[in-house]
Amino acid sequence: MKKYLILALLAACLTISSCATQPMVGTLTSTPTQTIDPDQITISMIQGEGHRSPMEGRKVNGVEGIVTAIRADGYYLQAIQPDGNVLTSDAIFVYTRMRPRIEVGNILAVHGIVDELYPGGVATGNLPITKIDQESYTLLEEFGALPEPVQIGQKGRVPPGRIIDNDKFLHFDPDEDGIDFYETLESMLVEIDDPLVVGPTNAYNEIVVLADGGLSSGLISRESTIVIQKNDFNPERIMLDDLLVPLPQVNSGDRFSGPVIGIMDYNYGNFKVLPIRKPQKVTGSISTFDVPERDPDEISIAVYNLENLDPSDPPSRFQTLGKHIVDILKSPDILGLVEIQDNTGPLDDQVVDASLTYKAIINAILENGGPVYEFRDIPPLNNRDGGETGGNIRVGFLFRTDRGVAFWDKPGGDAVNEVGLNRDDTGVSLTVNPGRIQPNAYAFFESRKPLVGEFVFRGQKIFVILNHFNSKGGDTALYGSIQPPVQNSEFQRKRQAQAVHDFATEILQLDPDARIIIMGDLNDFQFSETLTTLMGRDFTNLISILPPEQQYTYIYEGNAQVLDHMVVSRTIFESLSYFDVVHLNSIYHEDFNLSDHDPLIAIFEMK
């Protein structure tokens, strides 16, 4: 079967000159080209049953339809009478290069060339959009009634609830594959009833919703987010985009006063609905948090990604952080901070020291009624740890001596020298404190280096390894032309996880009862190979003890997911009395949040 597909692709490339510049998505299906009078071609014939038009490259005349929406470079044209075939779209984008001089409701006969448009170019990995490059048109009627939108949800067509693609485009299965389902609606008017917002308005003014208030959707949290699972990245999510009308600022759990009607479009690796009327927001409930107070013999440990915090940020940002730490996290005894920038932030001036950043945090805590904290970190070499140029992000510790937390400083910890282990009559200890794990290893090239700290509380030693693994940048899109998506970034994270695992295991070999906490932004999921490698046989991921629908620390494209983790050794796991992810940020848009990550906090009994 594969041989015949390859032969067919080669034959197609001989007749369509543009094949030479297109990505290897030859298995994007289309119906065979039929011998049809070019003056009798309909939109659905052009669209065909697949991701590419069977008429690509052909001239078409008098393709009739009604204008449903207009944008700066063209318009959407939909057949007045649908063909009744749910495998074919009844609408198409007509490309005019500049804003056309037509009106919504005009009924036209369009003449032009059928083509496939890759938004942003072939190199983006986007899917193609079938379009007509308009040469001319004939106005048939000035005003017509717009077609009824296709309802997405229980009253109409229900999108697949689990699979985005499972056959690498070999079969066009809209009932099974989400990527095929949305293709059948390309450029059409659609309606989303009772849309439930599952992620805040993002930086691109996009909103992700579920139809029917999330009825029959996957794992829905109490904060109205939809949580990914292994092999389920929630194809029922629908993204709204503001290309045609402004969208409101929303938080997870918000709704709209009526259905959303818009055009099914595609760009930046996602199918998107472009509303034709601004949705009216109905505000949902605000989440509350209840981290318990701890007893004198309990220690609380938290980790928080602060998204490139530096002294040039507005004072209000530091005040918000102070409130989070004092009022909600209850002033943890040890606080691991991720994405701390140096004293001059993104200014690329060779500065790597971050003492002013820490001072601003510590002062904000005091101003909000909190205790005095001390900090420890190891400044990186300039621009050697990735992140924003000049920012020199790193991980670092805050800790409270007023509750008896001791940090035994030792000389020698720096950016390039590797931490080691000693064992004597007092037990296992670090050669430097704090110290960096394998700072010169290829696994950590252009990435943050793990920082290990040796703490003592009520006579008990705790090793805390703070991390910020390689980001997921460079991975291909869920709805891209490469299926399944390729996680190019995972290779480095697995090597980083192996290095940290080996160091932690070495501690256990010297002391099987050692209390070890590995935490931070690991940029990967709880079911990933990265986390499997990190945990090995000796460690437990505290995320796993939460209900599945509450396992998330971050929201991306409406998918709630775990990127931040707290992994612990057996002895300290046995003393766990509380653990949770505190959703302070991920469910709120930027006017309300401090960061794009939620903090994690655990309380351990140390008798």
Rounded CA-CA distance 48/464 in Å is: 58
What lies within 8 Å, CB to CB, of 594 at 6+ separation is 306, 307, 317, 320, 321, 324, 584, 585
* Domain 2-141 shares a fold with domain 298-605: no
- The list of the chain residues with pLDDT below 50 reads 1-27, 33
**pLDDT value at position 324?**
97
Q: Is 329 left (phi over 0), alpha (psi -120 to 50) or beta?
A: alpha
Instruction: Please report, for the chain, the start and end positions of each structural domain, with discontinuous segments joined by +.
Output: 2-141, 150-282, 298-605
- The alpha carbon of 254 is separated from its chain's Cα centroid by a whole number of angstroms, namely 20
Rounded CA-CA distance 342/308 in Å is: 9
The CB-based long-range contact list for 497-500 (8 Å cut-off, 24+ gap) reads: 497/469, 497/522, 497/530, 497/531, 497/533, 497/534, 498/443, 498/533, 498/534, 499/437, 499/438, 499/441, 499/443, 499/444, 499/450, 500/437, 500/450, 500/465, 500/467, 500/534
**pLDDT value at position 37?**
67
**pLDDT value at position 288?**
84
Q: Where would I find the H helices in 546-599?
A: 570-573
Answer whether 319's CB lies under 8 Å from 368's CB.
yes
Rounded CA-CA distance 519/173 in Å is: 41
**pLDDT value at position 287?**
81
Cα distances (Å, whole numbers) of residue 296 to 290, 299, 303, 333: 19, 8, 21, 11
At 334-392, the pLDDT tens digits run 999 999 999 999 999 999 999 999 999 999 999 999 999 999 999 999 999 999 999 99
Instruction: For residue 488, give the nearest of 16, 73, 99, 125 by alpha carbon.
Output: 125
Rounded CA-CA distance 393/447 in Å is: 10
Rounded CA-CA distance 595/307 in Å is: 5
Rounded CA-CA distance 311/316 in Å is: 11
Supply the DSSP symbol for 328.
Answer: I
Answer whether 406's CB lies under 8 Å from 456's CB.
yes
**pLDDT value at position 33?**
47
Residue 313, both tokens: 């940020």
CATH architecture of 2-141: Beta Barrel (2.40)
Rounded CA-CA distance 338/306 in Å is: 6
At the topology level, CATH places domain 298-605 in Deoxyribonuclease I; Chain A (3.60.10)
Rounded CA-CA distance 219/217 in Å is: 7
What lies within 8 Å, CB to CB, of 548 at 6+ separation is 219, 227, 229
Place of tokens 């209840």: 290
Rounded CA-CA distance 155/158 in Å is: 8
Rounded CA-CA distance 44/79 in Å is: 8
Answer whether 217's CB lies under 8 Å from 245's CB.
no
Rounded CA-CA distance 195/279 in Å is: 10
Instruction: Label the pairing between strands 238-240 and 270-275.
Output: parallel
In the chain, DSSP finds a helix count (H) and a strand count (E) of 8, 33
Place of tokens 């293709």: 183
Rounded CA-CA distance 92/95 in Å is: 10
Rg (CA), the chain: 28
- In which order are the strands placed within the sheet that holds 189-192? 150-152, 189-192, 260-267, 270-275, 238-240, 207-210, 196-199, 255-256, 281-282
Q: Where would I find the H helices in 73-227?
A: 178-183
**pLDDT value at position 607?**
84
Residue 109, both tokens: 């006969």
Angle, helices 315-323 vs 355-367, to 10°: value is 60
